[in-house]
Structure 1
Amino acid sequence: MGLFKRRPAETTVVEPVEVAPAPVLPPPPPSDHAGRRVVGDQQKYLLSLVQPLPAFGMYLLDAWGTAVCEDIVADTFQPIDDLVAVDGYAVRSSDLEGADASSPITLRLRDDDRVAKVSAAVRVRSGQVLPEGADAVVPAGRAVLEGTVLTVERPVAPGDFVRRAGSEVRAGVPLMRSGERLDARRSALLAMAGVDRVLARPRPRVVVLSLADADSDPADVDSHLLAAAAKADGAQVWRVGLATGTDRELHDLISDQLIRADIVVATGALDGQAQLPRVVSTMGPTDMASVLMSPGGRIGFGLIGEDEIPMVMLPDDPVAAYADYQVFVRPLVRKLMGTPVVQREQVSCLVGGELSSSRGLFDLRFGTVREQSGEKVVVPIGRPDNPRLADLVAADAVVVLPEATTSVGLGERVGCWLLAD
């Protein structure tokens, strides 16, 4: 018999821990019999996987080049008062009726700020409030002052050389619409209206890196090309040098960049069990796709790290990578910016040479544009079956041949992207 009565052991209840489901990408667009996707479908798919960056209040200079995220309406008239537009003399226009070289009119210069008497004038400077009683200004170069006598040989009309109240901005009138890009001129308009901050999205932070393959060219062409292209598109860019090493080292290198990235763009081999897609697939859900496009057409995408940062993987060929950047990555950067139009605008040009393409293939060709008889004419350069970096460098336009196009004859029209970066 037991000597002591023992308390029964307490049963500890363990609350189940909810584990967040691993992120997955939505189903990709359909492919053809060869596993290739249509360019437009792939664009829409990738765009659906990123969202515009959150907006916050930014000073005008910091927000330059970005799209505002609010309608900005003037609270007051600007200028508030009638202002003098040039250095000269404030007058009543009726006092100068009939003035000419043969019959000049003389006015008496006053030393106060009023033009209350007939044939009076007041010296004024540009930007000051128009003196009481005046309705026009005679520029200094149009009058001769001797002592206090002002001689004028030309008449002026009411409002001449005067910035009327409300002539620049009227109360209740929109100064900018949401989605419009803030440039230097709009910045000046907002500053005039007393607006020093706007609600805008920051410039996307883009990290660009290239993965060095044992058999690849040791020159790091891709990252320089893509980093410059992203910068030209208005992004804040960091370029990482050639990445080498083990899977673990590449994993750590990419992870270290996520703290400063809104999107990562990397180039490397993308076929089979290549290192770049293999490592990225361990960092989040990924999608590898072949697209009906030339050059380029191979692209990978992933949402990596705890914050699910978008990462785009492009081929390790500079021309193919650049083409994929223009078609797929640039729209993503612009969507992060919150711009209402993410696709590059096409300009209609006459083609200065014969072009042919495979049906069903989205084909890009490089060319140079010249003006001829008031028309833009694009002349193709390079070989379509073997585009070179030298062709890309020499080009100032990309000829876009949609999937339905099989041939374009001399003098026919084609759509082009004009390259300005």
Structure 2
Amino acid sequence: MTQRLPSSLTPLDTALAALLRGLDPVTPVELPLADAAGCIATGVPLLSASPLRDIAAVDGWALRANDLVGASSYSPLALIELPTWVEVGDVMPEGCDCVLDAGAVEISGRLALVLAEGVPGQGVARGGSDIAENAPAAVAGRPVDAAALLLARVAGVDKLSVRRPQLRIVNVPGATATMHMIAGFARAAGLDVSTHEAGSREETSIAEALDVSSCDLLVTTGGSGVGRADAAIAALVQCGAQLAHGLALQPGRTSAAGRLGKVPVVALPGSPGQALAVWLALALPLADRLSARQPRRTVALPLARKIASNVGIAEIALLVEEHKTWMPLAVDEWPLQAIARADAWLLIPASHEGFAAGEPADAYLMRE
């Protein structure tokens, strides 16, 4: 059966611009390292240098390289004083700038013979070599990753300043799998997600779950169509939402976007493919603005096959990388297996007729 559509479709660019207008990043919060993982960093705190001083990077004998010129197994160098033995992490003794292996020095009583030359810095970790003084724990506007957490832990920092917008997802019964999928993508984008089930598909029941008092972004899953059992849009309007119902986007034409009070709202269809397309094209840019995230990276590869598109409707294609090219998996409809296989997605503007085979395409990675 052909799906009924809203009476008019709002251009994707128009809907997105309206949602982003006047939308500021959320206030940063300090979170323990485990909770900050995946959130968008603000660039603070600035870390202390590590190591603070030159330390031994290997176990061995601490010496001064200039004192060892010419030393070899054929011409051992006798030392007036016994050298200092250091182990990994020990602060280098005053005046010493290299560490020789155990076998490079022979000790006999109070006599030490050096059997090899040294190079300044050999076996030494210089002060600030791991972490420069006042370096940020994580790059502002980028996700806090494992490397950032390592730097913080080495520097003795137990909290990071991040932006973590609050996302509330209200699910209409029948779209639970879609709700969990969107929640997973949202958490991967650094959002703090809470999910709520409407008691039924009735307008009043859905409206009771539409609480925006403690969220920065509201998303509904399911019930956005024009069928008799689709009441999400009516529930949002009942609560005072100003919405554009019907987007010139494929997949996802029956979605809606607007504001409930000052909070941006995106109503996603219950179909996983349609919901994901709208999430990527509309809700993800909102999440990035709220997080003050740097622009997402794209990867340019030639298309292995032509992608045709209808002028007047923005479309999203799912792609998989094959032999240094982007192979289209799905455009108009997104089967679940295509979603599972996709490496990237490509937004085709409404003014574009598509892409020819071999034409470079800048695609966003599904998982950075």
Contact 2:44/2:160 (<8 A) preserved: no
Q: Displacement of 1:225 after TM fit? A: 1.7
- The TM-score with structure 1 as length reference comes to 0.74
Cα 1:64–1:237 shift into 2, 3 Å: same
Structure 2: which 5+ residue stretches go unaligned? 1-6
What residue is the counterpart of 1:131 in the other structure? 93
Residues of 2 paired with 1:275 and 1:247: CA distance? 5
Identical-residue share of aligned pairs (%): 26
Match of 1:410, as an amino acid?
Answer: A
Secondary structure of 2:193's counterpart equals strand
Match of 2:83 in 1: 121
Structure 2 counterparts to residues 130-149 of structure 1, below 5 A: 130-140=92-102, 142-143=104-105
Choose from 329, 347, 355 the match for 2:307.
355
1:183 paired to 2:145: yes
Does residue 317 (structure 1) correspond to residue 271 (structure 2)? The answer is yes
Cα distance, 1:417–1:240 mapped onto 2, change above 3 Å:
same
Aligned positions of 1:307-386 closer than 5 A: 308-341=262-295, 344-371=296-323, 376-382=324-330, 384-386=331-333
Question: After superposition, where does 1:46-61 map in structure 2 within 5 Å?
Answer: 46-48=19-21, 50-61=23-34
Aligned counterparts, 1:65-144, within 5 A: 65-69=38-42, 72-73=45-46, 78-105=50-77, 107=79, 118=80, 120-140=82-102, 142-143=104-105
Structure 2: distance between partners of 1:168 and 1:246: 59
Q: Describe the shift of the 1:152–1:199 C-alpha distance in structure 2 as closer, same or farther (beyond 3 A).
A: same
Counterpart of 2:62, as a letter, is A
Higher mean alpha-carbon deviation, 154-163 vs 35-44, is at: 35-44
Structure 1 residues 142 and 259: CA distance shift in structure 2, 3 A: farther
Among 228, 231, 243, which residue is 1:275 paired with?
231
2:43/2:137 contact within 8 Å kept: no
Deviation at 1:288, TM superposition (A): 2.2
Distance 1:79 1:381 in 2: 49
Q: Which residue of the partner structure matches residue 209 of structure 1?
A: 170
Preserved contact between residue 38 and residue 291 of structure 1 (Cα < 8 Å): yes
Deviations 1:271-324 (A, max 9, x none): 45841111111223321233322111333235447xx54432112221111100
Equivalent residue letter for 2:293? T
In the alignment, which residue of structure 2 is the partner of 1:25? Answer: none
Separation (CA, whole Å) in 2 of partners of 1:151 and 1:243: 84
Q: Which residue matches 1:404?
A: 351
CA RMSD after TM alignment: 3.2
Is contact 1:264-1:311 (8 Å) kept?
A: yes
Number of aligned residue pairs: give it. Answer: 360
Normalising by the residue count of structure 2, what TM-score does the alignment of the two structures yield? 0.83
Change (3 A) 1:277 1:128: same
Partner letter of residue 359 of structure 2?
Answer: E
From 31, 40, 54, the counterpart of 2:13 = 40
Aligned twin of 1:244: 200
In the TM superposition, 1:408-419 aligns within 5 A as 408-419=355-366
1:349 CA displacement = 1.3
For structure 1, the residue ranges without an aligned partner over 5 or more in a row are: 1-33, 108-117, 213-217
What is the Cα deviation at residue 124 of structure 1? 0.9
Task: Give the distance between the partners of 1:142 and 1:40, measured in 2 at CA.
Answer: 69
CA shift in 2, pair 1:331/1:142, >3 Å = farther
Residue aligning to 1:10: none
- Measured in 2, the distance between the counterparts of 1:39 and 1:219 equals 24
Cα distance change of structure 1 residues 70 and 232 upon mapping to structure 2, 3 Å threshold: closer
SS of alignment partner, residue 239 of structure 1: strand
The 8 Å contact of residues 60 and 101 in structure 2, kept in 1 or not, is answered as yes
Q: Would you say the 8 A contact 2:297–2:364 is kept in 1?
A: yes
Shift of 1:369: 0.6
SS at match of 1:95: helix
Higher deviation after alignment, 278-287 or 261-270: 261-270
Partner of 2:3: none
The DSSP-based 3-state class of the residue aligned with 1:363 is strand
Could you say if the C-alpha distance between residues 197 and 288 of structure 1 is closer, same or farther in structure 2, counting changes exceeding 3 Å? same
Deviation at 1:122, TM superposition (A): 0.6
